[in-house]
Chains A and B, each alone.
Chain A
Amino acid sequence: GAVVSQHPSWVICKSGTSVKIECRSLDFQATTMFWYRQFPKQSLMLMATSNEGSKATYEQGVEKDKFLINHASLTLSTLTVTSAHPEDSSFYICSAPKAGETQQFFGPGTRLTVL
């Protein structure tokens, strides 16, 4: 299978600061990556689709100015939570499809806690 990593695995920040989360495909190139959010004891909800070389597409209700996505290369997508607030505390997970494979591969997730 393919490997997707995320960094950091967890982060604690003060309210009002910005936090950047990286998602990397380690052994394949990914023109598309997906960002999901999971609140405690809930399911994963798709936030946005990250497209290499073009703007991300956001799901309804997700603020694009608050959750900045940059797909700078074929192996890296970043999610920046700007001016984070306690309600942004969540588990953020990225995924990427690999060409020639039918299943998706998920990163280990990043747990964000905003104080």
Chain B
Amino acid sequence: GIQVEQSPPDLILQEGANSTLRCNFSDSVNNLQWFHQNPWGQLINLFYIPSGTKQNGRLSATTVATERYSLLYISSSQTTDSGVYFCAVEVSNSGYALNFGKGTSLLVTP
């Protein structure tokens, strides 16, 4: 099956710092989503981005489908950004089921 690798696995930032999270995937994908899982477990959709670049406030994402990677940028980080960030891709023949990476655990300190 498709492999989804995220880096770094853990990240500690001071409030105000910027960061880049990376997601590599091993095959062509129909769908790629970035999620933030909050401390209560809720998955929050950040971006649907199978290709191209999108921005939403302090967050932006870029997917280069031909090179099979996606990047999530967090600028001016805040303590509320803490949590786990997952990249998930749709396996083309599975009818929308998502294959998740192992996540990046982010801690933003005051």
- Chain A CB within 8 A of B25 CB: no
Interface string of B48-75 (1 = CB under 8 A from A): 1010000000000000000000000000
- Indicate whether A108 sits within 8 Å of B97 (C-beta atoms), given known contacts A42-B102, A103-B48: no
Q: Quick check: B101 and A43 within 8 Å, CB to CB?
A: yes
Q: Quick check: A49 and B31 within 8 Å, CB to CB?
A: no
CB < 8 Å: which of A32, A42, A105 contacts B95?
A32
- Chain B CB within 8 A of A61 CB: no
- Indicate whether A109 sits within 8 Å of B42 (C-beta atoms), given known contacts A43-B86, A43-B103, A103-B48: yes
Interface size of A by CB at 8 A reads 23
Q: Quick check: A1 and B45 within 8 Å, CB to CB?
A: yes
- Indicate whether A103 sits within 8 Å of B45 (C-beta atoms), given known contacts A32-B96, A43-B100: yes
Which residues of B does A touch, CB under 8 Å?
A: 31, 33, 35, 40-43, 45, 48, 50, 86, 88, 94-103
